[in-house]
Amino acid sequence: MREFRQVLEREDSINYAIKEVLAEGKTAYQEYLFFDSVLHGRCLVLDGDLQSCERDEALYHEALVHPAMLLHPNPKTVLIMGGGEGATAREVLKHKSVERVVMVDIDEAFVSLCKSYISSWGATAFNDPRLELHHRDINEYLESCQEQFDVVIGDLIDVSDWESDAAALYGSNLYRRLKAQMSSNGIVATQAGTLDMQKLKNHKKIRAVLAENFSEVKSYGLMIPSFYALWGFVIAGDSLWSCDMKECFKRDESLFEALGSSALLSAFSLPKVIKTEIGV
């Protein structure tokens, strides 16, 4: 049986047994692999890194989206950076206050593949008239954007090489431009890599860049079974805690199909050793 091998470090890897390869190839921007896994259902791989699996993608996307959406008092306009699977937009559009969502994902071919091979993940989003989809580089989009956003969600690929082109997706220039396009009480949340004790440098870097631009920054993490890792996220703003976190997260329990408000709250209680390592 064929396997997909996720390399963690030179000494460690995870093998995923493949039932069937659905699509494999390369767009103008990235290599892709869609396959059905024995344990995790349908899975997506980009440039050799596992991105999402059917069995637990809702855990990841609910954790990414709902803290920012619930901590904002009335999110009406939302910007999604990346998010080609459609699942991030799906979670954003569950919020009744939302009037407009702009999703900027540079890779049109990849988004089309997602609509074909993981169609159920983003079907409700891609068919929602509140969603506006742009296939542009996010930095270029922000340079010409005149709109103000209440919430910004970053669902972008991981960066392992901070000298690469991909590093611009998490750079100071991007977040400086981004803040100029956010409302006065705007909130940004982004995926921020694994919280593995040996690989925290990426999370620390993303956190530091956000701290350069926002007065309040908070890390949180959730165990994603198919990743075999505690996965990190960062949320930032200048008025994050205008309401009690526990009460905000309980505001609409119907938003959660996988996670739930209690589990989301616990994600903000990171182990002491991780907090010490990232400097909080």
* pLDDT tens-digit readout, 54-111: 999 999 999 999 999 999 999 999 999 999 999 999 999 999 999 999 999 999 999 9
- In the residue annotation, 137 being an active-site residue is answered as no
Pair type for strands 229-237 and 12-26: unpaired
Read off the tokens for 48: 């050799």
Determine the average pLDDT of the residues in 213-242.
Answer: 92
Query: Which residues, 6 or more positions from 15, have their beta carbon under 8 angstroms from its beta carbon?
Result: 3, 4, 5, 6
pLDDT of residue 174: 87
Distances (CA, A) of 141 to 131, 185, 214: 16, 22, 21
Residue 161 in this model has a pLDDT that exceeds 60: no
Alpha-carbon distance 1 to 149, whole Å? 47
Mean pLDDT of 263-276: 95
- Residue 10 has what pLDDT? 62
**Crossing angle between the packed helical segments 172-180 and 201-213, to the nearest 10 degrees:** 40
pLDDT class of 17 with cuts at 50, 70, 90: very high
| Cα end-to-end span (Å), the chain | 45
In the chain the domains, ranked by start, together with CATH numbers, are 3-52 (2.30.140.10), 57-278 (3.40.50.150)
pLDDT category of residue 159 using cuts at 50, 70 and 90:
low
The answer to whether the CB of 248 falls within 8 A of the CB of 71 is yes
Question: 148 pLDDT exceeds 70?
Answer: yes
* Token code pair at residue 105: 């994902």
Question: Which of 235, 270, 231 has its CA nearest to residue 51?
Answer: 231
- How many other C-beta atoms can be found within 10 angstroms of the C-beta atom of residue 156? 19
The torsion of the CA quartet 60, 64, 70, 72, rounded to 10 degrees, works out to -170
Given the residues 12, 49, 155, 238, the one annotated as active site: 155
| pTM of the shown model | 0.94
Q: Could you read off the pLDDT of 249-265 as tens digits, one per residue?
A: 998 999 999 999 999 99
Q: Is the pLDDT of residue 225 over 90?
A: yes
Euclidean distance between CA atoms 45 and 2, whole angstroms: 15
